[in-house]
């Protein structure tokens, strides 16, 4: 892992020095240094202050003297800093050669964390009754990016999309079609998912508010949905499959793919619930309530001041959470798999196979989409329900952290963006609501970003072919959406702004993509292929070494991101890498210099940057155009 090599060397030698001082089992850190603290620093002196009864600066001096006597390849020297930190200075001749050579390997950045252990990442899971809006997209991009990062960290990742095709929101559009006369064909070539969400769903829910007696129709339809043989259920299957196909088109357009689609209707009819319910009772994880407001119900007791959660109503019907429990257990492989699998009828991009569950064993095949660990991407408003499921799964499996709720906050629109997209707005942010029809579809955001990019690209590149402009615009629009969804901490609300997100300056996807295009242009102008057979000792300028160091941090960033399930880490790394390259470009001439050996070394550095930014952006699902 390139820069990790110097960290490992320092850690090993520090342990040797400490053992000679009869100091053992000290859990110190060795990390890339902040500016002014060498290339690597360690906090070991602080951890020994109490034990040795000396101040950290004195201890750092003592250890530094011992360290400089050890055998070291990638370190020139160690120094004690007056703050108490122990600082190390790299042998950049050797480290440059190591980092830039490894950056040309296909395995660069790969981290052996998972050792091919199976892990499930479930994301998207949008009700198939409407088009995906920009709020859903945060879930989808987080899940897809985490999946990519975990694969880079050597996990065998199974990506699942849970299709809630038997819930209330589906019942609402079925009521609209069967009782309120909505045509099954959308008007004016409108996408079917947009039609269902904008027209059928919104107008049907409005009718409920006008006439409360319609609630009985809704309940009856919901009950019929759970009966797989009913005509209502068969009709709903046709409608929801059409909506799902459109939703998947949106996801695929954003470079998101899946391994398996799991349908709630099949989970209900599979018999999984009865099996898990018996297990819950055996383990005394649920209790029957004899009196009070939950009389006749089976409940999960709340922790502390939390209310008890009903999982089976007094009429014997299971609640929403009861559907999630058997599915969670199935994902962990705790129950025999009742499903068969068949290929989804529409091909995903890049020929990646997509399977779907079925209860019909005719012509189907067997697969294992379970994992030793499960990550479920669901917004933070579902935290209480997810905590209940997480606690239950931990008790079932007796292993902590096997079921993880990866929560995130909502997406709002800036007032300018909301106005551009035709929404009424108050204040600086606009909240979205699918039920009220106050949302902006992901398709419309993509279309607008793409159109703006087409205009700008054509202006900057008057000689570029229209089909090439189209490709660049698509890649920039997708990159912009994806980057804006993951560059923030997951617990921060996003305010999405169309204009700012397309800027070629600052922390945006176009800025990073443009930097890649700049590197591509340099290599193209050189007119020759680059080589790693160069004199690395010629790279001595600070901006050169800073770029080499940032390139070398790729694997460390992947490891950090995978361990913390934080896609932001890779987004931040991509931005830092682009900033580092632009600083190098500003301070150093690459082409047309008299020293051809130096030119070769700098071209090698440019190519290493290009390869690394391509790989790191690929983890974010972002393409790298050669021209913009």
Q: pLDDT tens digits for 526-584?
A: 998 899 999 999 999 999 999 999 999 999 999 999 999 999 999 999 999 999 999 99
Measure CA of the first residue to CA of the last residue in the chain; give whole Å: 32
**What's the pLDDT at 268?**
87
Q: How far apart are CA 619 and CA 147, in angstroms?
A: 9
Angle separating helix axes 202-210 and 168-179, nearest 10 degrees: 80
CA distance 517 to 539: 23
Q: How far is CA 110 from CA 101, 350, 368, 373, 483, in A?
A: 15, 22, 25, 20, 22
Closest CA relative to residue 603, chosen from 530, 541, 521: 530
With b for 16 or more beta-carbon neighbours within 10 A and e for fewer, the 368-380 pattern comes to ebbbbbbbbbbbe
- pTM of the prediction? 0.93
Q: What's the CA gap between 48 and 44, in Å, rounded?
A: 7
30 DSSP β-pair partners: 42
Helix, strand, coil percent content, the chain, rounded in steps of 5:
50, 10, 35
Each residue of 389-436: pLDDT tens digit?
A: 999 999 988 888 899 999 999 998 888 887 777 776 666 665 555 555
pLDDT at 1: 55
* CATH of span 118-270+339-371: 3.40.50.620
pLDDT of res. 502: 82
The maximal CA–CA distance of the chain, rounded, in angstroms, is 90
Q: How many CA atoms lie within 13 A of 274 on its CB side?
A: 4
> CATH fold of 3-90, please?
Gyrase A; domain 2 (3.30.1360)
Q: For residue 130, what are the contacts with CB-CB under 8 A and spacing of at least 6?
A: 169, 193, 194, 196, 197, 198, 201, 243, 434
Tell me the backbone φ, ψ of residue 121, rounded to 5 degrees: -120, 115
- The DSSP line for 62-112 is HHHHHHTTS--SSEEEEEE-TTS-EEEEE-HHHHHHHHHHHTTSTTTT---
Quote the percentage of the chain above a pLDDT of 70.
97
Residues of the chain with pLDDT under 70: 1, 424-438
Query: How much of the chain, in percent, has pLDDT values that exceed 90?
Result: 78
d(CA 410, CA 135): 6
With 0-12 / 13-18 / 19 or more C-beta atoms within 10 angstroms meaning exposed / middle / buried, residue 260 is buried
Question: How many residues belong to the chain?
Answer: 628
What does the radius of gyration of the chain's CA atoms come to, in whole angstroms? 28
Kindly write down the DSSP assignment for every residue of 266-309, as one continuous string. HHHHTTHHHHHHHHHHHTT-SEE--SSTTTT-EEEPPSTTPPPE
């Amino acid at each position: 892992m390139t820069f990790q090599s110097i960290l490992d060397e320092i850690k090993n030698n520090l342990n040797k020095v400490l053992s000679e001082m009869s100091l053992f089992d000290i859990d110190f850190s060795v990390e890339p240094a902040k500016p002014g603290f060498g290339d690597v620093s360690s906090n070991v002196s602080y951890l020994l202050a109490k034990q040795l009864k000396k101040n950290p600066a004195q201890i750092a001096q003592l250890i530094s003297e011992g360290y400089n006597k050890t055998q070291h390849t990638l370190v020139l020297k160690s120094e004690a800093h007056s703050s108490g930190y122990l600082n190390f200075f790299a042998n950049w001749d050797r480290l440059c050669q190591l980092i830039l050579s490894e950056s040309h390997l296909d395995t660069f950045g790969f981290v052996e964390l998972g050792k091919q252990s199976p892990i499930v990442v479930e994301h998207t899971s949008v009700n198939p009754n409407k088009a995906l809006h920009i709020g859903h997209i945060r879930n989808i991009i987080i899940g897809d990016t985490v999946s990519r990062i975990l694969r880079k960290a050597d996990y065998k990742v199974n990506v699942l999309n849970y299709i809630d095709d038997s819930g209330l929101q589906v019942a609402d559009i079925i009521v609209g079609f069967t009782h309120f006369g909505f045509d099954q064909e959308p008007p004016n070539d409108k996408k079917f998912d947009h039609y269902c969400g904008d027209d059928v769903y919104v107008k049907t829910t409005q009718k409920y508010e006008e006439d409360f007696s319609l609630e009985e129709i809704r309940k009856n339809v919901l009950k019929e949905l759970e009966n797989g043989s009913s005509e209502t259920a068969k009709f709903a299957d046709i409608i929801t499959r059409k909506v799902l196909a459109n939703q998947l088109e949106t996801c695929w357009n954003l470079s998101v793919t899946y391994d398996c689609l799991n349908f709630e209707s099949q989970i209900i009819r599979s018999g999984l619930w009865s099996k898990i319910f018996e297990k819950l009772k055996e383990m005394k994880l649920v209790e029957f309530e004899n009196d009070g407001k939950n009389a006749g119900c089976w409940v999960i007791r709340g922790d502390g001041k939390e209310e008890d959660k009903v999982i089976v109503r007094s009429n014997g019907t299971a609640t929403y959470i009861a559907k999630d429990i058997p599915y969670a257990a199935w994902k962990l492989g705790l129950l025999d798999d009742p499903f068969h699998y068949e290929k989804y009828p529409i091909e995903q991009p890049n020929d990646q196979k997509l399977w779907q569950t079925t209860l019909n064993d005719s012509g189907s095949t067997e697969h294992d989409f379970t994992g030793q660990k499960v990550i479920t991407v669901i917004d933070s408003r579902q935290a209480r329900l997810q905590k209940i499921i997480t606690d239950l799964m931990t008790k079932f499996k007796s292993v902590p952290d096997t079921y993880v709720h990866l929560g995130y906050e909502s997406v709002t629109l800036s007032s300018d963006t909301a106005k551009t997209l035709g929404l009424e707005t108050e204040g600086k942010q606009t909240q979205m609501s699918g039920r009220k029809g106050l949302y902006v579809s992901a398709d419309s955001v993509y279309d607008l970003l793409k159109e703006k990019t087409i205009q700008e690209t054509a202006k900057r590149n008057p000689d570029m072919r229209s089909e090439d402009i189209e490709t660049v615009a698509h890649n920039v629009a997708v990159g912009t959406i994806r980057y804006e969804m993951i560059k923030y901490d997951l617990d921060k609300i996003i305010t999405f702004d169309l204009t700012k997100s397309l800027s070629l300056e600052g922390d945006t996807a176009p800025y990073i993509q443009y930097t890649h295009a700049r590197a591509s242009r340099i290599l193209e102008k050189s007119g020759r292929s680059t080589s790693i057979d160069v004199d690395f000792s010629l790279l001595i300028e600070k901006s050169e070494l800073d770029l080499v160091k940032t390139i070398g941090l790729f694997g460390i960033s992947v490891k950090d991101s995978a361990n913390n399930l934080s896609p932001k880490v890779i987004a931040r790394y991509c931005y830092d890498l682009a900033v580092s390259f632009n600083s190098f470009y500003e301070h150093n001439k690459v082409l047309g210099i008299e020293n051809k050996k130096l030119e070769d070394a700098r071209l090698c550095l440019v190519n290493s940057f290009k390869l690394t930014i391509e790989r790191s952006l690929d983890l974010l699902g972002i393409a790298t155009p050669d021209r913009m």
